[in-house]
Structure 1
Amino acid sequence: MASMAILMMLLLSTELVSGKVVQFIFGDSLSDVGNNNHLTRSLARANLPWYGIDFGNGLPNGRYCNGRTVADIIGDETGLPRPPAFLDDSLSEDVILVKGVNFASGGGGILNDTGSLFVQRFCFYKQIELFQGTQELIQRKIGKAAADKFFKEARYVVALGSNDFINNFLLPIYKDSWKYSDSGFINYLMSTLENQLKLLHSLGARQLIVFGLGPMGCIPLQRILSSSGDCQDRTNKLALGFNKAASKLLDNLSKTLPNANYKFGDAYDVVGNVIDNPHQYGFNNSDSPCCSFGQIRPALTCIPVSTLCTDRSKYVFWDEYHPSDKANEIIANEIIRKLGFLRPNATNAPSPSPADAPSSD
C-alpha cells in the first residue's frame, strides 16, 4: 500500500508539471489581484466598493479596476491561467503548479523607496524574494530537476515603473526628486531594473515581458494638477524616456543572457490615441474617472459614497490612477498584436468574460 501511495504521488506530480505553462507576475496596482488587500496597514488597497463591480460577483477582489487587468486579458487570450495573489488564502504548492503566482502590489516600484507613503507594499526586490521562497516550496514538492524545468518553461510578466515617477520622483518629499535630473533618474531605474531582471534570469526566467508605461501625464490625477486640465507634458516625456531605455535594455539582455527571450510590451501610442480620440474607440470620456467623489478631486480611490458614471464602458479611466476594463482590453490587445503571442497551453480556451469569471481567480 505504501508503494502504491508513493506511485500515485509521483504520477500526480508528473501530471502537474507535464507541459503546463503558468505565469509569474511582478507589478504594481495595474496588475495586483489582491496582495495589498492582505496588507492590513497598507494605504493602497482595492477593498472597497466599487472595485470589481464588473468582475465575477461584483465584489472587490483586489483589482484596482471595475474588471480585468491587462495581465488578466493577455493571459486569457493566450491560454494561460490567471495566477492568484501570493497572499491569497487558497495558495498552495498544487495551485502554484497549475496557475502560477501573482506577486504584484499596489504602490510598489522598481526602487525600494517608491510608494513608501502607502506604508505597506511589495517593491520589486521584495517580490523577487517572495518568488525565491515559492521556488523552494516547489522544489520540495516535486524535486529540483522537475522544478527547474517548470520555472524555465513558465512565462514572466514585469509591469512596474509608473509609481517610481508618480509616487517617488515627481513628489518633492522624496530625495530622488532633487537628487537626479530626469535623464539621470531614468538611468538609475534602468541600472536597478537590469540587476533585477538578471536576478530573475538566474532563478530560471527565460520567457519574460516587461510592460511599458502609458501616457502617465494624462491620468486624471495628473490632469488635476493643471489649471487647464491638460496632460502633464513632462510626465509623459518621462514615460517615453523610460520606454525607450527599457526597450533597449530588454533587447540587450535577450542577446547576452543564455536562452533569454525578453520582450518589451509598448502600448504608449495606442493609449495616447485613445485619450486623444476617444470616440474612435467607443469612449466618450478620456480625462476624468468613472468612479469619483463629485467635485472633490482628487479622491484618489473609489469609496462606497463615490458616484459612478452612467456607462462604465464609455470611460477610459476607472479612477484617478487606473484604466477601465475596456481600456485595459485595448492595451492588452495592442501588446498581443505587437509581440505576436501564441497560446502555450494548446488545449486552453480563453477565460470567461469578467462578468462570468469566478471571483477567486
Structure 2
Amino acid sequence: MQIRSCSILTSLSLVASLLKHAHAADGPGRLSRLVTFGDSYTDIVSVGDGGTAWPVYAVGYANATLFPFAKSGAVCSQDLTPRPFPGVVQDELPAYLAQSQTGSIAVPSNETLYTLWIGTNDLGPTTLLLGQAIVNNATIVDVMECAVNWVKTLYDSGARNFLFQNLVPLDHVILYQANSYPNRFWTDIRNTTEWNLFMSELVAGGNAISRLLLRALASTLPGAHVGLFDSHALFTDILNNPAEYLNGTAPFNTTGCVNSCIFPLGNGSAAPVCTVAKGSDRDSFVWFDELHPSEQADRVVAREIANILEGIGSKWATWFS
C-alpha cells in the first residue's frame, strides 16, 4: 500500500490549531436529556468497553434521561464506507426521527443534548486505511462532512444542542500500534509501522477537518449550540498522565489492554492466547481490547459529558455557537 499525500491535511491541522485558541461561545446550560449516536464506543447494548457504556454513567452522574441510538460497528454512511453494520445516516438518524416525530420519545429542544462519536470504523482496515470498502473514491473529507452534516439533519428536525466527539488517538490503540500483534480485529500479515503512521495522519486530518466544518456550520444555525468535545486531547492526556485518571490496583498500563488476545499470524480461526485482567485491575488500563477504550476511560468521558449536561462545562469542550 502506498501512503497517501497528507500536505493538505497538514495545512488544515495548522489552521485548526490556530482557530482552537479563538474566542469560544458559552455552552447551552443545564440539560436533562441525552440523545446519543455513534458506534461501539457509545452503544449501550453491545458495549465496547467490556462493562457499562459511558452514556449510562453520564446520565447517572447528571440525573438525566438517556435516549440511545448508537450501534456497534456503525459507520457514518454506507454510501461512503459500506460495512455489514448500521450507518448513522441509514439507520440511526431515521430511527431517532421516527420516534421523535411520533412523540414516542420526549426531547424538548431546550432540554436535550445530542452527541455523536463516529469514525473509528470509517477509518479502519476494511475501509479508509486500506481502501478495501469505499464508494466513489470516498476520502476522510467525505466522512467528516457526513459526520458534521448530522448536526444539520437534527437541527432541521428541531434539535438545538449538539456535541460532536472527535476521534481518539487511534494510532495508540493496540490494533494500530507500530509494535502491534495479530489480534481479534486483524490476523493477517501487515506493515504495522505503516499502519501506525497512516492512522495518525487520518486522525489528525479528520479532526482538523471536522473542527473547521463545525465552526463554519455553527454560524449558519440560528439559536443552536454547536460544540466540539476534544476526545483526542482528553485521551492524549490520559495516556500521558495515567495517574490522574486511572485508579486500578495493577500498575497503570497505557500500551496494553484489559482483554488481550494474540492470534497465530494469518490464522484467525486458530485458538488465540488471551490475557484478561480481573476485578479492580481492569481500571488500570486505558484500553479494554485492541480497539476500544476501557470502562475506566469511559467513566472519565462520562464525567465530562455529565458536567456539560449539568451546565458546569468541560475544559475538553469548545462551543462555536
Give the TM-score normalised by the residue count of structure 1.
0.62
Q: Deviation string for 1:102-123 (max 9, x for gaps)?
A: 1101111112256744x23243
The one-letter amino acid of 1:188's match is D
Alpha-carbon distance change, 246 to 115 in structure 1, aligned in 2, over 3 angstroms: closer
Partner of 2:85: 120
Is the Cα contact below 8 Å between 2:42 and 2:70 reproduced in 1?
Answer: yes
Q: Which residues of 2 match residues 340-355 of structure 1 at below 5 A?
A: 341-343=308-310
3-state SS, counterpart of residue 25 of structure 1: strand
Letter in 1 for 2:291: Y
Q: In the aligned structure 1, how far is the partner of 2:275 from the partner of 2:170?
A: 24
Q: Secondary structure at the match of 1:162?
A: coil
How has the CA–CA distance of structure 1 residues 196 and 227 changed in structure 2, closer, same or farther, with 3 Å as cutoff?
A: closer
SS of the aligned residue for 2:283 comes to: helix
Q: Does 1:80 align with 2:95?
A: no
Cross-structure match for 2:6: none
Contact 2:75 2:82 in 1 (8 A): no
**1:196 matched residue in structure 2:** 150
Q: What amino acid is aligned across from residue 137 of structure 1 in structure 2? A: T
Partner AA of 1:221 in structure 2: L
Instruction: Give distance in 1, aligned partners of 2:133 and 2:236.
Output: 28
For residue 273 of structure 1, the aligned residue among 237, 250, 263 is 237
For residues 193-234 of structure 1, give each alpha carbon's deviation from its aligned partner in whole angstroms, at most 9, with x where no partner exists.
343321110111101101011101111111226777898132
SS in 2 for 1:232: helix
Conserved? CA contact 1:109–1:160, under 8 Å: yes
1:136-161 Cα shifts (integer Å, max 9, x gaps)? 321xx69xxxx6x7245321111111
The 1:284–1:161 alpha-carbon spacing in structure 2 relative to 1, beyond 3 Å, is same
SS at match of 1:179: coil
* Cα distance in 1, alignment partners of residues 265 and 295 from structure 2: 22
**Contact 1:267–1:334 (CA under 8 A) maintained in structure 2:** no
State the shift of 1:171 in Å. 2.9
Tell me the percent identity: 24
Q: Is the 8 A contact 1:152 1:204 kept in 2?
A: no
Code of the residue aligned with 2:298 in structure 1: it is N
Aligned to 1:254: 218
8 Å Cα contact 1:108-1:115 kept in structure 2? no
8 Å Cα contact 1:292-1:306 kept in structure 2? yes
1:235 aligns with 2:199: yes
Matched with 1:105 is 71
Contact 2:261 2:272 in 1 (8 A): no
- Is 1:156 matched with 2:114? yes
Q: Deviations over 1:306-342 (max 9, x none)?
A: 5412421111111111111111223444566xxx625
The alignment status of 1:220 with 2:190, answered yes or no, reads: no
Q: CA deviation at 1:297?
A: 7.5
Q: Secondary structure at the match of 1:128?
A: helix
Q: Is the 8 A contact 1:216 1:235 kept in 2?
A: yes
* Equivalent position of 1:208 in the other structure: 162
Measured against aligned partners, the alpha-carbon deviations of 1:39-80 in whole angstroms (never above 9, x if no partner) come to xxxxxxxxxxxxxxxxxxxxxxx3122323333333333332
Q: Matched residues in 2 for 1:203 and 1:246: separation?
A: 22
The code of the aligned residue for 2:222 comes to P
Separation (CA, whole Å) in 2 of partners of 1:64 and 1:200: 26
Are the equivalent residues in 2 in contact too, given 1:222–1:231 (CA < 8 A)? yes
- C-alpha distance in 2, partners of 1:131/1:168? 26
Take 2:267 and 2:233, find their aligned partners in 1: how far apart are those partners? 28
CA–CA distance in 1 between the matches of 2:219 and 2:113?
Answer: 18
Task: For residue 256 of structure 1, give the secondary structure of its aligned residue in structure 2.
Answer: coil
| Greater fraction strand | 2
- Give the number of the structure whose alpha-carbon radius of gyration is greater: 1
Computed over aligned residues only, the root mean square deviation of the Cα atoms, in angstroms, reads 3.4
- Which ranges of structure 1 fall in alignment gaps of 5 or more residues? 1-18, 35-61, 84-100, 345-361
Equivalent position of 2:261 in the other structure = 293
Residues paired across the two proteins, number: 263
